[in-house]
Amino acid sequence: MATPDFIRTLRASAGRQLLWLPGVTAIVFDDEGRVLLGRRTDTRKWSVIGGIPDPGEQPAACAVREVF
C-alpha cells in the first residue's frame, strides 16, 4: 500500500512527531479455509489485508476497499 497523500501532508508539517492514525485489518477466508494475504509494497512481505481510512471514511468501508 502506498502512503496516502493526506499522510504525506501531515508528515510534512509534523516532522518525526508521533502520529496516531486509525487503521483497519480484514481477515478473509475462502470456502476451503484459506486466508487471503496481500504483499506489502514497503517490505514485500505477505500480510493480512489492512490499511488507513481516508479522512471521513468509515472503517467498514475502508476494510472493503482494502480487500478489493
| Site of grid cell 508528515 | 11
Any idea what DSSP says for residue 58?
A: -
For 1-48, how does the pLDDT look when each residue is reduced to its tens digit (9 = 90+)? 678 899 899 999 999 999 898 999 999 999 999 999 999 988 999 999
Write the CB contacts of 53 (distance below 8 Å, at least 6 apart in sequence): 22, 23, 24, 59, 61, 62
For 38-62, how does the pLDDT look when each residue is reduced to its tens digit (9 = 90+)? 999 889 999 999 999 999 999 999 9
